[in-house]
């Protein structure tokens, strides 16, 4: 069995480096990435979602606090920090203009591997806290402009 913590660090490092090819290569063809803000299926969709995050939050950083391995599954507790300085295309809200606000978020993730590839990834975090910290509560997508009034 592969060293799952090493594989997770390689995945996180590829995301940080915006190495989309490496990110794509680390997922099985039918992998599901389930998050508080939606689901991405397959390497293309997952890589596009993750690349969009680091594009909108260029100072995006992670710190792994703990990792627990059980067979082909690893549970990772980590802290994510970033500042919203570029436009973000949200799967739920549309295009959001930069707010300049920074966030810090604790995340728990359960990742199941098939060999050295991620077969499923379930990420748990406080979405309301994230929305508050980056100023997206009540956000109007940039394409719609300000509400009429």
Asked if the model's pLDDT at residue 31 lies above 90, the reply is: yes
Asked if the model's pLDDT at residue 147 lies above 80, the reply is: no
> Domain 4-134 falls in which CATH fold?
Nuclear Transport Factor 2; Chain: A, (3.10.450)
- What pLDDT digit, counting tens, does each position of 70-126 carry? 999 999 999 999 999 999 988 878 899 999 999 999 999 999 999 999 999 999 999
Report the SS3 class of residue 137.
coil
Residue 87: half-sphere exposure toward Cβ, Cα within 13 Å = 10
Parallel/antiparallel/unpaired status of strands 117-124 and 27-35: parallel
Structure tokens at 105: 């978020």
**Better pLDDT: 131 or 148:** 131
Q: For residue 140, what pLDDT is reported?
A: 52
Q: For residue 148, what pLDDT is reported?
A: 42
């Amino acid at each position: 069995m592969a060293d799952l913590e090493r594989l997770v660090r390689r995945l996180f490092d590829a995301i940080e480096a915006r190495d989309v090819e490496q990110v794509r290569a680390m997922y099985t063809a039918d992998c599901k990435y389930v998050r508080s803000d939606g689901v991405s299926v397959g390497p293309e969709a997952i890589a596009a979602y993750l690349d969009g995050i680091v594009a909108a939050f260029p100072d995006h950083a992670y710190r792994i606090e703990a990792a627990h391995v059980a067979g082909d599954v690893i549970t990772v507790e980590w802290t994510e920090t970033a500042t919203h300085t570029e436009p973000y295309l949200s799967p739920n809200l549309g295009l959001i203009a930069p707010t300049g606000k920074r966030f810090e978020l604790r995340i728990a993730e359960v990742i199941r591997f098939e060999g050295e590839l991620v077969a499923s990834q379930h990420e748990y975090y406080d979405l309301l806290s994230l929305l508050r910290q980056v100023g997206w509560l009540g956000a109007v997508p940039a394409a719609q402009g300000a509400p009429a009034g």
